Amino acid sequence: MGSAASAQKTIYLEVDGKVQKIVFSQQSSSSDIKQILCTSAGLPWQTPIILVDSRGTLIATDPTIPGNSKYSPYRIICEDLSPRPEKEDVFHKLMTQVAEEFTRAFRISDLKREVNERITALERRVEAEGQKATDIEKCKLELRNLRDEIEERSGSRLSCSCKYNRSGDIIRINPRKDVHSYPKYTLSPETIETLKKPTFDVWHWEYNEMLSCLEFMYHDLGIVQEFNMNPITLKCWLLCIQENYRTNPFHNFRHCFCVTQMMYGMIHLCELQGRLSILELGILMTAAVCHDLDHPGYNNTYQINAHTELAIRYNDISPLENHHCAVAFQILAQPESNIFSNISLELFKQIRQSIIRLILATDMARHADILESFKQVISTFDFNSEEHVKTLQMMMIKCCDISNEVRPTEVAEPWVDCLLEEYFMQSDREKLEGLPVTPFMDRDKVTKPKAQIGFIKFVLIPMFETVMKLFPQIEEVMVRPLQEARDHYEELIQLEEAMAEVQQKKAEILSGGGKVKRNVESL
């Protein structure tokens, strides 16, 4: 009974001052519905008609007719009932154009839905077949033919999002189409286990292997199933993400993977799968993946001082972080890489707002405010409180973004070298362009120990110790390594100071020896 009722639609129609109730099947064609309407109005079924609501708005005469009530019935307008016969030719043309536009719009809509369903079925077949070469090539050909078909029959080309490069010129965001050539790696049990830990060595992995690890994380956390993601779309999205990270010394795709792997590790370490929803975990992971998209290698201070296109566009307010968000959603705007295509619009809006909030939280200019907000709720923290969870999420992405020193020394130190290289590139450019030189980036003043010690002592340790109050289990594997890194760099600074003192004394001795020699010669 419920199924039959749901297959019918009821509308109300005003005819000669009386309201009629009309019930028809949702499977009816547009011509069937027009015939029913004409019959109800006592008109020949061939009569050209249009349907309007109480405000005169045109209503499409097809199964998508919105339901109404008997207090706001629809009305039929046709040539015979037109109140202005002197303009009946214009009216007839208007009706014809409206009918043609509606027909074309719904034909294209039906066509796109049909083709998308066929594409999805083919893509799933490819995944199920284990990516056999012969089947893949056949499916590729079929997919290309389907895309050509929809473009030809709809009379339009599929749109593609775009982005801006460093100078502000528009360039294309091109996701990889050959997703089936993306190798699928089977992760060993040992790899899966170490992937959950901060000690994971991110330097031993090629890009394809990192992509496979990211794909595994999404499946393992239940995110793919929760959002009904097409596995091929997930692959395409990850490839597009990779291609939209630049080859900077530090802010590159390996850094993206590093941050996301740390997020995955913290989720397991802090046992968040039992405390946060899969929706909240998916937001954390996706924000981590996208948090530095298209980073130009020069920080917000440079953007603002140099009055770059990004700084102007975002009014000097977190220009880089706003840009990362924009690129992330430009990628998601493309059907080939929209991992959220199978969820409701309302849920997507919620996810979008949350991802934007988390990426903007990675701006270190907001560090003190976010840390203070977390301190205020930590003593009464409630996982059922939306505001508390939002604050925790911001703290987590901040921790993961700057977590390199949590890792073993042999993993962490190469990141310092990469960061200093990027810093020095910026300070060199600032000097060349006559801009204020960022002090901690000046190659003439900064050393590795000096670059790290203050950051570890006054940013990292206080932040992770605060998180430790909520999750005591991170003390041994995250806070302790930070304390050891602090001690390591303090020893290096002491060594640098001792070496500097030796060099100074050596110079003094050499200088004094020269004076003695001159005095002897003068006698």
Active site residues: 251
Residue 13 near residue 20 (C-beta atoms within 8 A): yes
Per the listing, tokens 């840009």 go with: 323
Other Cβ atoms within 10 Å of 491 Cβ, number: 11
The string of DSSP codes covering 438-464 is PGGG-TTT--HHHHHHHHIIIIIHHHH
- 181: closest CA among 146, 232, 245, 225? 232
Residues 6+ apart with CB under 8 A from 236: 175, 176, 177, 179, 336, 337
Compute φ and ψ for 307, nearest 5 degrees: 55, 50
By three-state DSSP, how is residue 84 classified?
coil
Q: Which of 496, 389, 507 is closest to 445 using CA atoms? A: 496
CA trace torsion 284, 285, 290, 291 (10° rounding): 50
Element (H, E) at 480: helix 480-522
Q: Which of 403, 407, 400 lies closest to 260, judged by CA?
A: 400
Longest dimension (CA), the chain: 134
**Through-space distance between the first and last CA atoms of the chain, rounded to whole angstroms:** 123
Q: Could you tell me if 399 and 466 are in contact, meaning their C-beta atoms sit under 8 angstroms apart?
A: no
Residue for token pair 């097809």: 62
